[in-house]
Structures are given as structure tokens and as C-alpha cells.
Amino acid sequence: MPELPEVETVVKGLRQPVQSKEIVRLVSLRPGTVLDQRARKPSGTKNCHQMQICHSLETCPHESREGNPSITPLTSWQISQNANLATSATDFTNLGTITSLERRGKYIIIQTSQELAIIVHLRMTGKLIIQEGLGHSNDDLYHSCDSHGRSSDGRCHSPDPLCHSHENGNPPCTPATKPNPTFPKHTRAYFEFADNSCLLFIDIRTFGKIQILSQAQLPEYFQKLGPEPFSSDFNPGYFLGKARTRNMPIKSLLLDQSFVAGLGNIYVCEALFRTRINPCLPAKQLTKKQITNLINEIRQILTEAIQANGTSISDYRRVDDKTGEFQNFLRVYQKTSCPCGKPVAKIKQAGRSTYYCPTCQK
């Protein structure tokens, strides 16, 4: 699952290629992948574990919250990523020109000249890949019909028998001769830009989401998300205050996005190893020195991982479809032996695998 360094790498990789590009349309190829939230009025909050649809999924990203009433409830915004799968629209236009790309936690925020914020959450297996050209097998025929309008299936719907694509000996625009865009397998949505390039959203497991918001909705959307690990808000005083009230292992606390944004299983396991803290230690028992070390080590490991373009263990890829390199520097995550020579233990915590060295992390 992409964590902060992987999402940061994707955002950095996207800036130069797509900044200032005009979005002609955003097309959802799978129901529920693109959600238009502009009309949404969040009301009240619900606990994640009440949402059956969330927990019917094989891997729930919120499972560490289950049975933990002390955890901040999720807003209906975040729940909606799982629950609101009903949407009839598949083709979104008038989205404007991209003015900025930012990361917040594990979210990618694409802001546009139409005062929109398009939020991409890669979740388990999502990736954004730049493709030059739409991949039609007959671009000329396809695009010559644009003036008459067409639907997202790529077919000409012109009632005009003199549609100019029929000229010069081209065959009529019947469905049989109109190619659909050809994209890699598991492409769930794509942005089409005015220069005919596009940005593909490829997602095998289909947990990933693209949400369209107005920029004014952003503060509310992220109001439950914890501070960024690099921000001054994530400091020993904050950490200590939160840890005291949470009756959970330190590993589960670090995975809680309302406590700190962007950390996932890989970097939490590695940061705990580097600070020699046992992942099962109750968060409230950490000393101030351990907390200070942990904050420093989290920042250090994230910095190193960003420099290495992230960790590619399974599906994560950069925007040019290349892998990151930080998997070569992991010390305990998915390892069988620790650098100290002793075996690495693998246990389950809140449904997630934890890797640690019982010798180094007592």
C-alpha cells in the first residue's frame, strides 16, 4: 500500500508533466471509482466499524479502529470512499486547468482553475501513469468527430451524414469501426488533457478512489486527518498528550491516520525497529525520550525513502511505471532475519502483519 514516501514520489513525478494542463475530461471506466462530491453536505459522524460495506472488504484500512471507541470517529467524507459507490456519471468535463499538485497524508490533491480539488487516494494497489496519446488505434478518425460530440465509449454519435470523418474515403463512424481507447489492463479511470496526453488511474484491487470536490470543501474533508510527520505540530508534546489517552499498542497508534498522517505498515515497522521499541508496547508507556527518538527516526526514514523514490514491494510504481528502490534498505519488514543475526518475528496486530526483532526490540 502506498504510504507517504510513495505518494510524495508520485506527486513530484506528476508536477512537471501535468502542471498547467487543461483537463478535457475525467472518465470513470468503473462505477464508483470517480465520485463527484461537490454537492455533498457532510452531516454528523459515524464510526467506521458501523459501515458494513467497509468491513465486508477483504482488507479494511480502518481495522485498527474497530473495537477502539477511543479512536476519533471518521467523518462521512472518509466513509464515503467505501460506501458511496452509486454514481451514474462516468464522464466529467469543465474541470479546468491544473494549477497545483500537493500531497496530504496519503492523498494526492490536484487543484484546478475551476476552484476544484480532485483528490486521488491510491489505497491498496492504485497507481497513476502518464500516457502520451490516448491510445486509439485510429486517432484521426476518432478526433475528427469531436465537433459533433461523442460519448466516453469513443464512438461517433453524430446524426450528420456529412460528418467530416467520413470524407476522404474514411469509413462511416459506425460503432463497428470506432475504436475504443486502448489502455492497460485494470485502468479504472483516466484524465484526458487538451494536448491529447492522459493520466491513467490503474488499480487492480479497485479500492482506490478519485473524488471531485470544490476547494472550499478541503478543510472539512481533511479535518480529521492528523498532522504531517514533518510538520512542527507533530512534536513530543502532541505525541505524549495523544499517547496518554490511547489504550493501544504503539504500532496501532502510529498507523492511525487521525494521529499522524501518511504512515503505513512498512515505515512504522522500520521506525520502531530503528528506535528499538517493541511494537506491542502500550503507547501510554513510552517515555519522552523514546517519543523524541521515534519522531526523529520517522522523519529520517521518510526522508530516506523519498530520496529512494519509495518502496516497491508489490504494485506501487512511479508515474513513469518504474519501481522505487527503498525496498533494498528495509531491515525487518518482510525479512526473516534481523541485521543482528537473530530471526525476525512476524505477528498480527489489529489484522495487520507486524515485523520486529524480539532481540533488538525488547
- Closest distance between Zn ion and the C-beta of residue 270, in Å? 13
Q: Total residues contacting Zn ion (rule CB under 5 A)?
A: 6
List phi, psi (to 5°) of 284.
-70, -10
- Closest distance between Zn ion and the C-beta of residue 356, in Å? 9
- Closest distance between Zn ion and the C-beta of residue 26, in Å? 48
Distance CA 271, CA 329 (A): 12
Burial of 204 (0-12, 13-18, 19+ CB in 10 A): middle
- Closest distance between Zn ion and the C-beta of residue 269, in Å? 13
Burial of 223 (0-12, 13-18, 19+ CB in 10 A): exposed
In the stretch 291-330, what mask flags binding to Zn ion with x, by CB under 5 A?
Answer: ----------------------------------------
- Closest distance between Zn ion and the C-beta of residue 336, in Å? 12
Residues 6+ apart with CB under 8 A from 179: 136, 137, 138, 141, 142, 154
Among 230, 340, 343, 347, binds Zn ion (CB under 5 A): 340
Residue 48, all three cell numbers: 467506521
Contact status: 269 vs Zn ion (CB under 5 A):
no
CB nearer Zn ion, residue 63 or residue 297: 297
Stretch that binds Zn ion, among 59-67, 258-266, 275-283, 333-341 (CB under 5 A): 333-341
Distance CA 119, CA 214 (A): 10
CB nearer Zn ion, residue 116 or residue 360: 360
Residue 38, all three cell numbers: 461537490
- Closest distance between Zn ion and the C-beta of residue 275, in Å? 13
DSSP string, 120-156: EE-TTTEEEEEESS---SSHHHHHHTGGG-B-TT--B
Contact status: 51 vs Zn ion (CB under 5 A):
no
Contact status: 119 vs Zn ion (CB under 5 A):
no
Among 156, 271, 338, 350, binds Zn ion (CB under 5 A): 338
DSSP state for residue 253 in the 8-state scheme:
H
- Closest distance between Zn ion and the C-beta of residue 66, in Å? 31
Contact status: 360 vs Zn ion (CB under 5 A):
yes
- Closest distance between Zn ion and the C-beta of residue 359, in Å? 5
Residues 6+ apart with CB under 8 A from 94: 114
CB nearer Zn ion, residue 241 or residue 358: 358
Contact status: 359 vs Zn ion (CB under 5 A):
yes
Stretch that binds Zn ion, among 42-50, 179-187, 250-258, 334-342 (CB under 5 A): 334-342
317-320 long-range Cβ contacts below 8 angstroms, 24+ apart = 317/127, 317/129, 318/9, 318/10, 318/13, 319/10, 319/13, 319/14, 319/17, 319/128, 319/129, 319/130, 320/13, 320/129, 320/130
Contact status: 347 vs Zn ion (CB under 5 A):
no
Which residues would be at the binding site for Zn ion (CB under 5 A)?
A: 338, 340, 342, 357, 359-360
